[in-house]
């Protein structure tokens, strides 16, 4: 009986070890690029979410100032400011009174921000709701505390900081001047101004939870 010749397919050589290593390396590089790009897109998305809050907060504070001809801040904090100087950056915590004044979740606040007691001042007697804010989940991105006074935190669980033109010169101190990134603080092409020509500016410390670092999310520039 005559045997059939073997198929050429059975004699085709397999991949060599070097070829396999090259393929694995290429796959690893591509996977790294995909993961890196995905992480960047996620980071950009989180930054955009925070920037929306900054924009809404700034608009709400401006509207409040127009309605009441004052800033939505506990009077004791404003009176403690140095004469002729803007007050330092105010956090959106329980003591500043900013969040309650804009949302009407709490309308009265004492000098210490407790929300009542003798000498309490009604920060929003008209009961106007200047902004809608979500409730924080796991202490992040929204209003924290089960009862007033509330505080507002960003996606990383840190309060926002508000700069206000409390001395009436239509400008506020520029935090970019102290940024650790020289591309921001000492940009030769577009150097940051000593003062921002704004009455309201707001910023978040960003993911690293540190002030004046490259990942800060701010209301006065897009990056």
Q: Would you write out the chain's pLDDT as a tens digit for each of its 223 residues?
A: 555 555 555 555 667 878 778 888 888 888 777 776 767 767 778 899 999 999 999 999 999 999 999 999 998 888 766 678 899 999 999 899 999 999 876 544 444 444 443 345 789 999 999 999 989 999 999 999 877 778 999 999 999 999 999 999 999 999 999 999 999 999 888 899 999 999 999 999 999 999 999 999 999 987 7
The owner of tokens 């404003």 is 78
Contacts 24+ apart (CB under 8 A), 209-213: 209/156, 209/158, 211/175, 212/175, 212/178, 212/179, 212/180, 213/179, 213/180, 213/181
**In the structure encoding, which two tokens stand for residue 117, read together?**
């007691």
pLDDT for residue 11: 55
What count of residues does the chain have? 223
Q: How far apart are CA 59 and CA 65, in angstroms?
A: 10
Q: Report the distance separating Cα 34 and Cα 23, nearest Å.
A: 17
3 state SS of 136: coil
Report the pLDDT value the prediction gives residue 5, as an integer from 0 to 100: 57
DSSP 8-state code for residue 138: T
pLDDT score recorded for residue 171: 96
Q: What is the pLDDT of residue 92?
A: 96
Q: Tokens standing for 66?
A: 């127009």
């Amino acid at each position: 009986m005559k045997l059939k010749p073997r198929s050429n397919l059975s004699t085709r050589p397999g991949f060599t070890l070097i070829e396999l290593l090259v393929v694995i390396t290429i796959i690893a590089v591509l996977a790294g690029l995909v993961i890196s790009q995905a992480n960047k897109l996620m980071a950009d998305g989180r930054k955009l979410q925070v920037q929306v809050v900054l924009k809404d907060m700034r608009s709400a504070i401006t509207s409040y100032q127009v309605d009441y001809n004052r800033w939505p801040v506990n009077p004791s904090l404003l009176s403690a400011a140095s004469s002729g100087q803007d007050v330092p950056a105010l956090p959106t915590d329980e003591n500043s009174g900013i969040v309650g004044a804009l949302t009407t979740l709490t309308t009265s606040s004492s000098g210490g921000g407790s929300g009542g007691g003798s000498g309490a001042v009604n920060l929003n007697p008209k009961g106007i709701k200047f902004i809608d804010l979500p409730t924080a989940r796991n202490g992040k991105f929204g209003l924290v505390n089960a009862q007033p006074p509330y505080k507002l935190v960003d996606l990383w669980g840190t309060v926002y900081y508000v700069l206000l033109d409390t001395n009436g010169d239509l400008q506020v101190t520029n935090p970019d001047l102290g940024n650790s990134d020289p591309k921001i603080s000492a940009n030769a092409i577009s150097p940051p101004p000593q003062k921002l020509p704004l009455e309201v500016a707001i910023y978040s410390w960003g993911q690293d939870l540190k002030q004046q670092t490259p990942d800060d999310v701010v209301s006065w520039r897009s990056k």
